[in-house]
Amino acid sequence: MSDPIQTHDLTGIRCPLPIVKLNQIIADAAPGDVLLVAADDPAFAPDVRAWCRRTGHELIELDQQDGVTSVRLRRSA
């Protein structure tokens, strides 16, 4: 059984809005859902790492290419 995946494009918005939006998105996700999120705000990579540590959501993968940070994370219970 594969994990449900939701994709969200947060490019074009600046700090702190990518994390604010991510917080809203994950609140609507079910525990275990996997989110793919892209943002081009330079602060997104360190912010999402800290946010995952603080909230307990699992950061599965983080990739940065051409000024865009893409993350794959799993919503915790």
pLDDT tens figures, 22-37? 999 999 999 999 999 9
**Using one digit for the tens of pLDDT, what is the confidence trace for 48-65?**
999 999 999 999 999 999
- pLDDT score for 29: 94
How far is the CA of 21 from the CAs of 1, 2, 11, in angstroms? 28, 25, 11
Amino acid (1-letter code) at residue 64 = Q
Judging by DSSP bridges, how do beta strands 58-65 and 68-74 pair with one another? antiparallel
Mean pLDDT of the chain: 94
Catalytic pick among 5, 15, 20, 50: 15
Q: Taking CA 9 as the corner, what is the angle to CA 73 and CA 74, rounded to the nearest 5 degrees?
A: 10
The answer on pLDDT for 3 being more than 80 is no
Model confidence, pTM: 0.89
The verdict on whether 15 is a catalytic residue reads yes
- The phi, psi pair for 57, rounded to 5°, reads -75, 150
The fourth-level CATH superfamily of domain 11-74 is: TusA-like domain (3.30.110.40)
- pLDDT score for 1: 35
- pLDDT score for 4: 57
Domain ranges of the chain: 11-74
